[in-house]
Copies of this chain bind each other. A is one copy, B any other.
Amino acid sequence: MISGVKPQQSGQRAETTASSPGDAKLGIADYLRVRQRSEAICAPLEIEDYGVQPMADASPPKWHLAHTTWFFATFLIKPHQPSAKPFHPAFEHLFNSYYNGGGEPFSRAKRGNLSRPTVAEIAVYRSYVDETVSELLAADKPPALQQSLLDTLALGLHHEQQHQELLLTDIKFNFGHNPLYPALIATSEIDSMAQPARGPSCENFQSSGASLEQDFTLFEPGLVDIGAQQGFCFDNELPRHPVYLTPFGLAKSLVTNEAYQAFIDDDGYSRPELWLSEAWAELQQHSRRHPLYWCWQDGQWFEYRLDGYHPLVANAPVVHVSGYEAAAFAAWSDARLPTEFEWEYAASKESNTSGNFADSGHLHPQSQHQDHSQMFGDVWEWTSSSYGPYPGYEPLLGVLGEYNGKFMSSQWVLRGGSCATPQDHIRRSYRNFFYPKDAWQFSGIRLARNP
Contact = CB atoms under 8 A, between A and B. Distances in A.
B272 A244 contact: no
A117 to B, nearest CB: 7
A400 to B, nearest CB: 11
A275 B384 CA distance: 24
Q: Identify the 4 closest CB pairs spanning chains A and B, nearest first.
A: A386-B386, A100-B272, A246-B391, A54-B113
A424 B118 CA distance: 35
Contact of A279 (B90, B409, B450): B409
Contacts of A243: 244
13 contacts: A48-B50, A48-B115, A51-B115, A223-B244, A241-B244, A273-B401, A275-B406, A276-B408, A276-B409, A384-B388, A385-B388, A392-B450, A410-B436
A174 B113 contact: yes
A82 interface: no
Interface string A432-444: 0000100000000
Interface in A174-227: 174, 177-180, 182, 223
A46 B248 CA distance: 55
Contact-size category for A: 35 or more
A319 interface: no
A388 B388 contact: no
A49 interface: yes
B406 A118 contact: no
A199 to B, nearest CB: 24
Interface in A43-62: 46-54, 62
A409 B436 contact: yes
Contact of A90 (B179, B246, B408): B179
Given A113-B174, A241-B246, A244-B223, A402 B273 contact: yes
A110 interface: yes
Interface string A379-419: 00000111011011000000001100011111010000000
A299 B245 CA distance: 55
A180 B278 contact: no
Given A248-B391, A407-B277, A48 B174 contact: no
Contacts of A116: 46, 48-49, 178, 180, 182
Interface of A: 46-54, 62, 90, 93-94, 98, 100-101, 106, 110, 112-119, 174, 177-180, 182, 223, 241-246, 248, 272-273, 275-280, 336, 339, 384-386, 388-389, 391-392, 401-402, 406-410, 412, 436, 450
A118 B50 CA distance: 12
Contacts of A118: 46-48
A277 B392 contact: no
A64 to B, nearest CB: 15
A75 to B, nearest CB: 16
A241 B246 CA distance: 8
Contacts of A389: 336, 384
Contacts of A401: 273
A100 B278 CA distance: 13
A113 B180 contact: no
Contacts of A436: 409-410
